[in-house]
Every structure is written in C-alpha cells, then in structure tokens.
C-alpha cells in the first residue's frame, strides 16, 4: 500500500508559498527562455526579470512544457518511496505539459494525471481541493476522479490593462491592440473549454474597470462555492490589489481570500497589470 498521496502540479498553478506549504505540494517548473538563456519558472527566474528583459531588449520570453524525462524522474522518486501521485497540469489546449505527463505516467500504477482545463489559480483551486481531499484520507484514484469533475466548475478570468504582450506574443492582432489602446479598452480574458477567449471589453481606467469586473464576476455569489477565492495578479500596484481584495471580501463571506502573483509562464503571455478573481461554482 502507498505510504501517502503526493499532490503535485506544474508551476502554472501560481499558488503562494503558504498554500504550497500547507498542502505540501510538489511543483514541477515549466521552462523559460530569455534570449539564449534557459531558466525554470519560479526557480531561478521571476516575472520582474522577464519585464526587465523586455524593457531592455523588446524581446518576449518563450515558455516550454515540462518534458517527459523530468516527469519520469519525479514519478520514479515518489513511487520508489511508496507514494502515490496526483499531478495537475495547465490546460492541454495551452501546453503539451499534460500530454508529456500522461506519457511519463504510463509506466506507473499509482500515478494519476489531471488536466485542469484551466490556467494559473484556476488550476490552483483544483490543486488545493486535492490537498483537502488528501488530508481527509481519500485515495489518489478518488482524488483524481473528484478533481476531474471539479475542473468543469472553475471560473477563471482576468482583466488585461495593456495588450502589448498579448499582441507581440501573437494572441492579439496589431489592429485590435491599437484600437483597444486608443479607446482604453480592457479585455476580460476567460477560460472556457480549456481555451482562452475574450468575454467582454471594458472601457476606462484600469482600477475602475476592475471594480466593475469583480462586481459582475461575483454577482450575488449564490452559485459560488464560498470556501476559497483567489485574487491573482501580474505585478499590479499594491493599492489596486488591496482595493480588489476589499471588494471581494465585501461581496460575499468567503472562507479564504488568497492573494497570489502570477508566475513567469502566465506573466509571459499577459504582461504586467493583469488581475483576476478565480473561484469554483457550485
């Protein structure tokens, strides 16, 4: 019998150190390339280094999936110790990380790979739920099954202040970027069916737009699981973050309001001044 259930995730779950420690979550970092230099997301590079590199060179980073060998090494280490593993990845529609993990897991009986169908703390919500289930004594198979169903209930969205990174990364046309900047449009990016898309375009100052966005996302909170909500940002001003957290707390009696900063992978695509509220619906 396995000694314990290990909960693991790729680095895109964007969980803060308090949650990683609480649930003893193991993180496998995606790769980040800046010019000819190779790094590991959250290990030897952070988002501020990415922004500094871009401001200096105009060059966006490139991100790469965790490879099969890295997953195999991790699964081997854990199973040799008698543990079972439930591993979560960024949506398979956005990265080959999930496919690599599944291929690596084929050799192991007690390894389960779950496609979060989300990104950032959208996946982080599922990882935390898995941590709660492991603490309750559920088996790895039970956790994987429950979390696969839970993935469909995650609400993951962000408001982007500036389309520069999305445009230069090929996710937004030059015309759309120009029009948005001239009109002060702030698109709301949502994750649906494992893919990113624009649900709404707000207009105006970023801080004001965020207030409208939070009010609309949470609504009367009647269909939201109030156990936990994330306010996740990419390098936003502290006053903006504090105000958003205040609004979230005023909107409903959430058990936990967790503040997290997006890691290198997410920051590489959305750029600075991106903020979202992420939660699970009933």
Alpha-carbon distance values, 205 to 159, 174, 197, 199 (Å): 12, 21, 22, 18
Q: What is the largest CA-CA distance in the chain?
A: 62
d(CA 16, CA 203): 31
- d(CA 30, CA 64) in angstroms, rounded, equals 6
Q: How far apart are CA 249 and CA 200, in angstroms?
A: 24
Q: What are phi and psi of 5, to 5 degrees?
A: -95, 120
Give which of 92, 102, 218 is closest to 151, Cα–Cα. 92
Question: For strand 5-10 and strand 84-89, is the pairing parallel, antiparallel, or unpaired?
Answer: parallel
pLDDT tens for residues 116-166?
A: 999 999 999 999 999 999 999 999 999 999 999 999 999 999 999 876 656
Distances (CA, A) of 12 to 98, 243, 252: 12, 25, 27
Nearest to 247 by CA among 275, 280, 210: 210
Q: Residue 265: its pLDDT value, please?
A: 84
First to last CA, the chain: 34
User: Domains in the chain, please, with CATH?
Assistant: 5-30+65-151 (3.40.50.10170), 156-281 (3.30.1180.10)
Please tell me the pTM assigned to this model.
0.92
Rounded Cα distance, 6 and 82, in Å: 10
- Of 39, 34, 64, give the one whose Cα is nearest residue 52: 34
C-alpha span between 137 and 130 (Å, rounded) = 11
What is the pLDDT, as a whole number, of residue 181?
A: 53
Q: Is the distance from CB of 72 to CB of 61 less than 8 angstroms?
A: no
Task: Please give the average pLDDT of every successive group of 10 residues along the chain, which has 282 residues.
Answer: 85 97 97 92 92 88 94 97 97 95 96 97 98 97 98 96 61 44 73 86 92 97 98 96 98 98 87 93 96
Question: Helix (H, G, I), strand (E, B), or coil: what is residue 82?
Answer: coil
């Amino acid at each position: 019998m396995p000694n314990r259930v290990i909960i693991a995730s790729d680095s895109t779950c964007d969980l803060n150190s308090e949650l990683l420690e609480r649930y003893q979550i193991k993180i496998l970092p995606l790769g980040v390339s800046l010019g000819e230099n190779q790094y590991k997301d959250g290990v030897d590079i952070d988002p501020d280094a990415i922004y500094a590199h871009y401001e200096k060179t105009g060059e966006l980073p490139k991100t790469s999936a965790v490879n099969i060998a890295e997953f195999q090494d991790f699964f081997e280490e854990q199973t040799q110790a008698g543990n079972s593993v439930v591993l979560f990845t960024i949506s398979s529609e956005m990265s080959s990380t999930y496919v690599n993990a599944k291929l690596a897991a084929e050799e192991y009986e007690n390894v389960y790979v779950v496609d979060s169908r989300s990104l950032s703390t959208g996946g982080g919500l599922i990882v935390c739920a898995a941590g709660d289930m492991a603490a309750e004594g559920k088996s790895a198979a039970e956790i994987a099954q429950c979390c696969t169903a839970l993935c469909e209930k995650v609400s993951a969205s962000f408001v982007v202040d500036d389309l520069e990174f999305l445009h230069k990364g090929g996710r937004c046309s030059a015309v759309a970027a120009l029009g948005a900047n001239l009109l002060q449009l702030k698109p709301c990016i949502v994750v649906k069916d494992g893919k990113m898309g624009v649900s709404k375009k707000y207009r105006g100052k970023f801080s004001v737009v965020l207030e409208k966005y939070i009010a609309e996302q949470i609504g009367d909170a009647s269909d939201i699981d109030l156990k936990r909500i994330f306010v996740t940002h990419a390098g936003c001003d502290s006053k903006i973050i504090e105000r958003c957290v205040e609004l979230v707390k005023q909107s409903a009696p959430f058990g936990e309001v967790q503040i997290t900063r997006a890691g290198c992978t997410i920051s590489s695509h959305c750029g600075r001044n991106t903020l979202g509220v992420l939660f699970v619906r009933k």
